[in-house]
Chain A
């Protein structure tokens, strides 16, 4: 009965000073909104990272030749096409192997000339990287074995030559003094950090080795690991094969290195976690500031309503009834702020998911948790003003001017 009366009174009193009440709750709104937005964005980002781990590129290990380290001279042995073949022949894990030769060459077409990143690769290179052909064809194994002078362009190469990649299909181009025929264009894949596949040109591996770069040393061997094996298991197998190929004795160091892409996703996860922690910290501070604001406005309210408190006491309100009334008012104020914050935070999060093309999954526990926490802030910061109200002497409060 008293509780119901307290809630009605609280809502009435908040409505009576609507603007003041809403301004008071702004910090609570910001706090709750950032918690909701952060939890949402965090969980979506996590999901996006998790999804990317299961797709092809994230399950690809890359073997590089070791760089020399100081005086130790362990860099002597480069990776070669035969290393790639040895990995391909090994049947322990049904992986797919994609060796690549990389280098910079000048590319000429008509009067235009640019410097371009050339990648010598095999026929399954695109599918291992998860790229797709947009126009024409990629070269075949037979083209590779025949050292065909075929080239496949990244989507934006044509634009650099004052034409378009698609317009170049079927045309002859000059790559480092050798004439190549353009047979296809790769879909626009977008930049992935330090390399941009759209600005590269792809040619068959043996063509690259024999006709362009004159070496059978490869710059990287990509290993696509099937889902049934972990990257760690694959790394052990790669080491076994390459140590045998490179004739490395027990106890000696590897003269190659394997990059595990999951290390990057781990880093990304860590960065996300730090970011979230930071924002949750800000949210915490803002809720604290909000709580102090609520306490302040409740103290004002108690002073303004001294005569009302006196009257209620004269009519029989106990200490507890007055205490309850003002605590409930503070809690209600904070819950309203919390709910507005949840709405704002969810909207913000929704916008982010639209722009990032993420899944919108707001955990119910986060909504409940942040509203409950706001209520707790109201309870905590409402106690002191409420006690002040409850301790007023009825005779004095009634005559307060």
Chain B
């Protein structure tokens, strides 16, 4: 059984009297340990698909199994629990809390998971050293470079040991050198067995993944694997 089983997923948005079909029946599976890129032009339904795979939204029809659990019918709070435990998000704009230290930012998912304070600190420190930022854990985001901020965000995404690391244009706000460093970090994580889903519009970045799903007009146009 795959880690992710999405079958015949559709998503409609109603804009007043008009209904927009963002996804028109998408079916795919993702295995444990895969490094996959999802590509597509803007307006293709790529973002909608990401929201659904990331459990930020529910499909209109179709089924979505994550870790053999049907999540398309779960309530908002149940989805919050799934996001907390199963999914780690990395965003283009880092999305760090500006007034909190790197350590506090990494601890945030653990706070919502109800982990004890001592465990929060230990696990967050652990992940920060994994991304090479142990020495900067008491710095606020404004005192860190873009690459460092993104590494804090990756540590935060990994702190709850999620099944999937979800990265939405993770290098979009970085120069090519730091972007490359971040991609290297993803490769290392992948080698350790981490499932990674990368959303990108850059062919160069997508090329680093083992498999690329290309979305167009709400449908999967191609699904290719690198040998």
Contacts and interface: CB of A to CB of B under 8 A. Distances in A.
B200 interface: no
B99 A1 contact: no
Contact of B112 (A321, A393, A394): A321
A319 B95 contact: no
Contacts of B117: 1
A271 interface: no
A308 B97 contact: yes
B85 interface: yes
B57 A316 contact: no
Interface string B95-123: 10101100000001101111111000000
B80 interface: yes
Interface residues of A, number: 23
B111 A2 contact: yes
A267 interface: no
A376 B83 CA distance: 34
A5 interface: yes
Contact of B113 (A307, A311, A314, A316): A316
Interface in B69-94: 76-77, 80-81, 83-85, 89, 91
Contacts of B184: none
A318 B57 contact: no
Nearest to A317: B112
A147 B114 CA distance: 97
B51 interface: yes
A47 to B, nearest CB: 49
B82 to A, nearest CB: 8
A313 interface: yes
B57 A393 contact: yes
Given A16-B99, A398-B91, A318 B111 contact: no
Nearest to B115: A1
Contacts of A12: 99-100
A12 B111 CA distance: 16
B41 to A, nearest CB: 17
Contact of B111 (A1, A311, A320): A1
Nearest to A311: B95
A312 interface: yes
A398 B156 contact: no
A49 B179 CA distance: 80
B56 A318 contact: no
Interface string A355-398: 00000000000000000000000000000000000000111001
Contact of A316 (B80, B95, B99, B100): B80
Given A1-B114, A395-B51, A315 B57 contact: no
A394 B56 contact: yes
A5 B100 CA distance: 12
A2 B81 CA distance: 14
Contacts of B114: 1-2
A2 B80 CA distance: 14
B57 A395 contact: yes
Q: Which of B57, B80, B83, B84 has the most CB of A within 10 A?
A: B80
Given A315-B108, A315-B109, A320 B77 contact: yes
A294 to B, nearest CB: 21
B81 A316 contact: yes
A314 B83 contact: yes
Given A312-B108, A395-B56, A318 B99 contact: no
Interface string A101-145: 000000000000000000000000000000000000000000000
A316 B99 CA distance: 20
B112 A318 contact: yes
Contact of A314 (B77, B89, B99, B116): B89
Contacts of A308: 97
B85 A316 contact: yes
B85 to A, nearest CB: 7
A89 B113 CA distance: 91
Nearest to A307: B95
Contact of B83 (A2, A16, A315, A393): A315
17 contacts: A1-B114, A1-B116, A5-B111, A311-B97, A312-B112, A315-B84, A315-B89, A315-B156, A316-B80, A316-B81, A316-B83, A316-B85, A319-B77, A320-B77, A321-B112, A394-B83, A395-B56
Q: List 10 A-B pairs, minimum CB-CB distance, nearest first.
A: A316-B84, A395-B56, A316-B112, A395-B51, A318-B77, A315-B109, A311-B95, A395-B57, A394-B56, A318-B80
Interface of A: 1-2, 5, 12-13, 16, 307-308, 311-321, 393-395, 398
Interface of B: 51, 54, 56-57, 76-77, 80-81, 83-85, 89, 91, 95, 97, 99-100, 108-109, 111-117, 156, 160
